[in-house]
Amino acid sequence: MPRLVFIVGGARSGKSGFAQRRVESEPAAGKTFIATCPALDDEMRGRIERHRADRAGRGWNTIEEEVDLAAALAASPAGDAVLIDCLTLWINNVMRRSGQPDEDRMAELARETVCAARSRSGLVVMVANEVGLGIVPADPLSRLFRDLSGRVNQVVAANADEAHFMVAGMSYRLK
């Protein structure tokens, strides 16, 4: 039975650790991590290595996919519990590669990803940042990113079986 869990929160709120523990507690055949983070500089490469080290020796299969999450879900082994970390970087990657998609296009891509998750049996966990709790960004590109993130989060949350908001390492169940 397909199950979709959405975990959202601020930067360094504990989202990734909570999501990883959620997947690891699942009695699935295996675990697949779909990584959306591009290694654009040394600092980001270091973050990626720390995340890999956190999963090392724990039976994780990793798929690195920056844009086509539906294809990455289809490529992950049948029966695996899947963790996508994170949708916010995915939005950034789509913007970087495709210019400036509007909210409707980004919502459609999110729906396609949700449909791909729902077509699997078992657990899919999606992680995203909540970027809309701060001030209104000063420039149009940053405002677009904030708006696209909010729209994607709404689409995923509406379709999730379970949703959690993370703050200070604590999970608050929303749904």
SS3 content of the chain, % helix, strand, coil (to 5): 45, 20, 35
Structure tokens at 120: 């699997």
Q: Residue 30 carries which DSSP code?
A: -
Helix or strand (DSSP H, E) at 8: strand 3-9
Structure tokens at 59: 């039976």
51 part of the active site = yes
Tally helices (H) and strands (E) across the chain.
6, 7
Residue matched to tokens 């990803």 = 113
Q: Which of 51, 105, 118, 146 is catalytic?
A: 51
Is the distance from CB of 130 to CB of 163 less than 8 angstroms? no
Structure tokens at 132: 């809309």
Nearest-CA neighbor of 87 among 125, 118, 141?
125
Distance of alpha carbon 51 from alpha carbon 132, whole angstroms? 25
The catalytic site residues sit at 51
